[in-house]
Amino acid sequence: MDDRLRKQLDFALEIDKEKNIFRQTHLSGHGRNENDAEHAWHMALMAYLLREYSNEEVDITKVMLMCLIHDVVEIDAGDTYAYDAEGLKTQKAREDKAKERIFSLLPEDQKEELTALFDEFEDYQTAESRFAHAMDNLQPLILNNSNGGDDWKEHGVSAEQVYGRQNKTRLGSEKLFEVVDQIIKENIRSGKIRES
């Protein structure tokens, strides 16, 4: 086996570990906690299905690839819950270190390509990254809502926290933010999301 193929297969095996990183969000139907790989797959398909609602025209293949790789770093860095203020303080440093190790398994050209794509996602500067982030925000929200808001209630999440995260959804899709806003308001009314 040549060196390039060996590196590509090593990376392919390494990213399988993403299936072992469990998130705070539960699967629909009050299932078990979802893992990062399921989250990424779900986001990628949602991006394809909902692309017509992007604020700007996007390269949907690029968006889907961003969705698929955005949490690969959590193999080393672990999942940081969206509303964990302490964990968020160290998230970037942990993820940057993980990004270097994991993407370095690849041949140099692919390392550069995926690192650039990961960084583009993180920077929120392109239409693709903004729409991919809208999916990253919408996907757990619809799961939480399908479970009656129990994940928000369990963690004592406030409306300010949810809106703080979801306001970024509107950067990628005003239309999807309208749906998000309705879901949040319903969960505030039902007491699943704290008002303050």
pLDDT at 126: 98
How big is the CA angle at 24 (ends 166 and 181), to the nearest 5 degrees? Answer: 20
Please compute the mean of the pLDDT values over residues 145-166 and round it to a whole number.
95
CB 144 within 8 A of CB 83: no
- Helix, strand or coil for residue 172? helix
CB 80 within 8 A of CB 88: yes
Measured CA to CA, the distance from residue 104 to residue 161 in angstroms comes to 35
Answer yes or no: is 109 within a domain. Answer: yes
Answer yes or no: is 149 within a domain. Answer: yes
pLDDT averaged over the chain? 97
Answer yes or no: is 141 within a domain. Answer: yes
Number of residues assigned to the chain:
196
Please compute the mean of the pLDDT values over residues 73-95 and round it to a whole number.
94
Answer yes or no: is 66 within a domain. Answer: yes
Identify the CATH number of the domain in which residue 126 sits: 1.10.3210.10
Q: Is 80 exceeded by the pLDDT of residue 196?
A: no
pLDDT at 180: 98
Residue 98 tokens read as: 């993980």
The torsion angle over the Cα atoms of residues 131, 68, 64 and 5, rounded to 10 degrees, is 140
Measured CA to CA, the distance from residue 105 to residue 14 in angstroms comes to 9
Look at residues 131, 125, 120, 2 and name the one whose alpha carbon lies nearest to residue 60.
131
Answer yes or no: is 194 within a domain. Answer: no
pLDDT grade, residue 178 (50/70/90)?
very high
pLDDT at 171: 97
Measured CA to CA, the distance from residue 131 to residue 133 in angstroms comes to 5
Could you identify the residue written with the tokens 């991919």?
132
Query: What is the pTM assigned to this prediction?
Result: 0.96
pLDDT at 65: 98
Domain that holds residue 134: 3-189
Answer yes or no: is 101 within a domain. Answer: yes
Look at residues 139, 135, 169, 138 and name the one whose alpha carbon lies nearest to residue 67.
135
State pLDDT tens for residues 19-56.
999 999 999 999 999 999 999 999 999 999 999 999 99
CB 127 within 8 A of CB 56: yes
Answer yes or no: is 160 within a domain. Answer: yes
Q: Is 160 exposed, middle or buried (0-12, 13-18, 19+ CB in 10 A)?
A: exposed
pLDDT at 107: 98
The number of distinct structural domains making up the chain is: 1
Answer yes or no: is 196 within a domain. Answer: no
Residue 153 tokens read as: 């209630």
